[in-house]
Structure 1
Amino acid sequence: MMYIGLDLGTSSLKAILIDDAQDVLAEHSVPLSVQRPFDGWSEQDPKTWCDAATLALKALSQNVDCSSVSGIGLSGHMHGATLLGSDDTPLRPCMLWNDTRSHVEAAEMDADPIFRAVTGNIVFPGFTAPKVEWVRRNESDTFKNTRKILLPKDFLRLFLTGEHASEMSDAAGTAWFDTGARDWSDDLLAACSLSRDHMPRLVEGSAPSGTLRPSFASEVGLPRCVVAGGAGDNAAAAIGAGVVEAGSAFLSLGTSGVLFAANSSYRPDPASAVHTFCHAVPATWHQMGVILAATDALEWLSRLTGQSAAELTRNLGHLTAPGKTLFLPYLGGERTPHNDAAIRGQFLHLDHATNAKEAARAVLQGVSFAFADCKEALAQTGTSLTRALALGGGAKSEHWLHMLATTLDMTLDVPKAGDFGAALGAARLGMMASTGAGAEIATQPPLSSSIDPDPSLAAAMAEGHDRYKRAYQVLKDL
């Protein structure tokens, strides 16, 4: 048998095909674009997700005989607000995870103690509920005509299966969810002038949620197979990397940055600004420290300098103590630990000697300090990490990994070449849903290396992190 994972990312949709041995047989990616019409806005047209999925699945079936595909799993970027009318047509572009226009609405919700008490989380501006409240206040006709609200990957599920369904890991990031009970909260929905009728039904990520529509299956060359509940992107990445057992962790250097720890019980601590969500398999949860700009900060510098990210980070040499120049990577606000949608990034202590290489080094170090903030926030909840898998595109930079390991005082394990991210996790969930297999199939990947902290630079990194935190306080007070 074979299984497909669809990962709906911010910049692309990726499809992979695996067999029973979990070897990747084929893969295909389709680029996606983001629209930012105003500062703090970030939107996508949901139709582009469906078009991308169609292209990707056709590409797989054209390269490999997919007649034995029995399960498809879905992964996607979280928190997006996809508002549908009575005919299931989107009423407006989807407001994405990094859209911060609803910071006023989020602050008002967060000031009501019931939200933190029920969800186990701060209500961040990027979450779904404040976005929908922004629509209610600013686009009243759209809100009145809204019949269903779906997260991005769940709109893709609707296209694939005709089912309005979601699962626990993604639903936990809406601010309408009772994370401990793994169910929608009627009280939180009512507080937002909504009801369960607006919400999709819930399944576990490893359970079936529907089957491919016959006409679509025929169009893309697939049998009418099971579609699993799936997972939000980070929970799916954890399934792909085998981060399920309590105490296991990964650090992801993608567009955003994530320090993810698996838990066997529900351990909320909203004051830390750590996310506490359900994991993608039953009776498990996870915690995350999240920074909004990781490799995105390096891409910003690339656009500014006209040099590619690869050029900027090439030949940086051996790891050294942090320089005088500081970079605060808050290009679109920040989540952990600051919960500050209004703050913006900053370079400090530039001089005539600062060139593109030194600026790149400062950007890498600034993102590393932001991860150190996340590690400290997790420690406040009682989750202390000493090692983690290193995932994401930024993990290809050995210099950056050495910098992170030393800054965080944590060993980073680097997987051997291969895809151990959200697409594989989605495919594994498709395998679970179609075969009845459990989380034991979510094994950790073989390693190519382990990068330990450099003790000779520990004091310098700690001093640099202290300077970074003081700079944040100065910037916050401006």
Structure 2
Amino acid sequence: MAHYLGIDVGTSAVKAILVDDAQAAVAEADVPLNVSRPHDLWSEQDPEAWWEAVQTALDQLRAQAATALSDIRGIGLSGQMHGAVLLDEHGHPLRPAILWNDGRSFREAQELADKHPELSHAMGVIPMPGFTAPKLVWLARHEPDIFRAVRKVMLPKDYIRFKLTGETVTDMSDAAGTWWLDEAKRDWSDAALAATGLTRDHMPRLVEGSQPSGTLRADMAGRWGLRNDVVVAGGAGDAAAGAVGLGAIEDGSAFISLGTSGQLFVTTRDFSPAPEAVVHSFCHAVPGRWFQMAAMLNAASCLAWGAHLLKRDIDELLRETEAAYRKPSAVLFLPYLAGERTPHNDPYARGVFFGLSPQTDQTDLVQAILEGVAFSFADAKQCLEQAGTPLTYAGMIGGGSRSVFWARIFANVLNVPMLRYRGSDKGPAFGAARLARLAVTAEMPEAVCTPPDILETIEPDSRLVELYGPRIEAFRSLYRALKPEFTRH
């Protein structure tokens, strides 16, 4: 029986999953990562830390299922999008990678938007500080020696590909998030590259996510006892990989991803840009498909932050909060711990609790966090509607999808049915394994990328939908009132 390996280079962890021909998980590994924040708005990781975590994950898989691992035919890669990995002429990182939730290049992003307004339509979105292109403009301005030494700009998962294969390649969906890809043409934009002082020579080769990008180096195969013909697929950015794992590759397929960050994702058959709505219109990981996405920088990470602050176990907090839940919380929470992308494009925004009283307890705070994240998705839904993409239902994936209670809150805040799937917390790594299989077998994506079994459909409760309406408006009003204050800190 053939096996396929999916590796997801996330922000908080590297996750790996080994699946068989029946797409059943044989073994899984999860290796935590740390983020460095040396200055306000900065967010960085050492690319070598990703590589060390990948090696640890493979060691763990070998300990669990050595025979299955030795039989893998393909490897698929997924990863956090937008990160700037900068390699010198010897293929070594010149500095720590600048991550997706880094806001230092806000001014440079605004300058790109002002100087090149004609590019946002082709790039699928306005330039924002999270994207790779503004980061390089910042680098040229603030670290010119490093900028001059850059020979290749890579994305996080593609650094792992480089280590595994020696190839500098990226896929369409991850390239889509750089602000250098002409989304309709599925090719690098010479105009966007020139706007940031770069050329095609600085860019990786482009392949579709379901195509081969290279083969595993012999020394890598030898280290883990693998075959000498293992194909490494193009793979995908984490959002698109999550969609592939969920079978969301057909027009109108929609889901919510509750990981460290959050996405509201809808697959489209055509490229449908709506930059004015701060909606991302990007290439999908399989040929001939695109997607629209609202991207939020803060999702399940807010719950993890709250649990850490309260020094409590997340599952215990969720159980206690659910038991106490009766109606929308009197406390509002702005979830913008790391700034926000959709809909505000505001790296200076910060988290806020509002409405505290002597009666406020831990469950009130946790409920406010859960609702605040859901309210930010209500903003995302509104943006997609403005872009011409109404939401009629949404699946849930990512670590946050494990909570039925949170799914109920989402159903009532968004007023749409929420679908919970079996194995939905496997997310992008599982999608990457599917792309590995497609790269090896050349099967049609529809045959492999099928939706998982639905565990349950959570319908909105009309009484709570009505109660949440005014709270959503209060949430929006609170951000508007505080926006001027965020820039003064």
Q: Same fold by TM (over 0.5)? A: yes
User: Measured at CA, do residues 319 and 455 of structure 1 come closer, stay the same or move farther in structure 2, by a change above 3 Å?
Assistant: farther
* 1:67 partner letter: S
Whether the 8 Å CA contact 1:167–1:203 is kept in 2: the answer is yes
Question: Residue 18 of structure 1 corresponds to which residue in structure 2?
Answer: 19
Question: Residue 83 of structure 1 corresponds to which residue in structure 2?
Answer: 86
1:180 to 158, 178, 184: 184
2:469 to 440, 462, 470: 462
2:120 to 116, 120, 123: 116
**Distance in 2 of aligned mates of 1:105 and 1:312:** 41
Q: Are 2:352 and 1:346 equivalent residues in the alignment?
A: yes
User: Measured at CA, do residues 272 and 350 of structure 1 come closer, stay the same or move farther in structure 2, by a change above 3 Å?
Assistant: same
For structure 1, which runs of at least 5 residues remain unmatched after alignment?
none
User: Measured at CA, do residues 213 and 375 of structure 1 come closer, stay the same or move farther in structure 2, by a change above 3 Å?
Assistant: same
Question: Residue 451 of structure 2 corresponds to which residue in structure 1?
Answer: 444
Question: Residue 125 of structure 1 corresponds to which residue in structure 2?
Answer: 129
User: Measured at CA, do residues 350 and 447 of structure 1 come closer, stay the same or move farther in structure 2, by a change above 3 Å?
Assistant: same
Question: Residue 214 of structure 2 corresponds to which residue in structure 1?
Answer: 210
| Identity fraction in percent | 49
**Distance in 2 of aligned mates of 1:49 and 1:427:** 18
Instruction: Classify the secondary structure of the residue corresponding to 2:89.
Output: coil
**Distance in 1 of aligned mates of 2:421 and 2:89:** 46
Whether the 8 Å CA contact 1:128–1:173 is kept in 2: the answer is yes
Question: Residue 37 of structure 1 corresponds to which residue in structure 2?
Answer: 38
Q: Are 2:147 and 1:140 equivalent residues in the alignment?
A: no
Instruction: Classify the secondary structure of the residue corresponding to 2:111.
Output: helix
Q: Are 2:104 and 1:101 equivalent residues in the alignment?
A: yes
Whether the 8 Å CA contact 1:297–1:331 is kept in 2: the answer is yes
What CA deviation, in whole Å up to 9, does each residue of 1:19-75 have, x standing for no partner? 111111111122211111112111111011112222222332342313321111000
| TM-score, length basis structure 1 | 0.98
Instruction: Classify the secondary structure of the residue corresponding to 2:178.
Output: coil
Alignment size in residue pairs:
478
Whether the 8 Å CA contact 2:78–2:157 is kept in 1: the answer is yes
User: Measured at CA, do residues 403 and 366 of structure 1 come closer, stay the same or move farther in structure 2, by a change above 3 Å?
Assistant: same
2:306 to 270, 288, 301: 301
Whether the 8 Å CA contact 1:420–1:445 is kept in 2: the answer is no
Instruction: Classify the secondary structure of the residue corresponding to 1:166.
Output: strand
Q: Are 2:340 and 1:334 equivalent residues in the alignment?
A: yes
Whether the 8 Å CA contact 2:246–2:424 is kept in 1: the answer is no
Alignment RMSD (CA, Å): 1.3
2:281 to 251, 260, 276: 276
Question: Residue 153 of structure 1 corresponds to which residue in structure 2?
Answer: 157
Instruction: Classify the secondary structure of the residue corresponding to 1:64.
Output: helix
Per the TM alignment, residue 191 of structure 1 is displaced from its structure 2 partner at its CA by 1.0
2:238 to 233, 240, 245: 233
**Distance in 1 of aligned mates of 2:478 and 2:411:** 22
What CA deviation, in whole Å up to 9, does each residue of 1:86-117 have, x standing for no partner? 00000000011111111111111122213313
**Distance in 1 of aligned mates of 2:414 and 2:445:** 29
| TM-score, length basis structure 2 | 0.95
Instruction: Classify the secondary structure of the residue corresponding to 1:173.
Output: helix
Whether the 8 Å CA contact 1:54–1:220 is kept in 2: the answer is no
Q: Are 2:66 and 1:64 equivalent residues in the alignment?
A: yes
**Distance in 2 of aligned mates of 1:33 and 1:137:** 27
**Distance in 2 of aligned mates of 1:204 and 1:77:** 17
Per the TM alignment, residue 347 of structure 1 is displaced from its structure 2 partner at its CA by 1.3
Q: How does 1:327-406 map to 2 (within 5 A)?
A: 327-406=333-412
User: Measured at CA, do residues 303 and 315 of structure 1 come closer, stay the same or move farther in structure 2, by a change above 3 Å?
Assistant: closer
Whether the 8 Å CA contact 1:320–1:457 is kept in 2: the answer is no
**Distance in 2 of aligned mates of 1:178 and 1:434:** 27
**Distance in 2 of aligned mates of 1:276 and 1:332:** 23
Whether the 8 Å CA contact 1:241–1:420 is kept in 2: the answer is no
For structure 2, which runs of at least 5 residues remain unmatched after alignment?
none
**Distance in 1 of aligned mates of 2:144 and 2:304:** 36
Whether the 8 Å CA contact 2:112–2:195 is kept in 1: the answer is no
What CA deviation, in whole Å up to 9, does each residue of 1:351-391 have, x standing for no partner? 11111111111111111110100011001111111111111
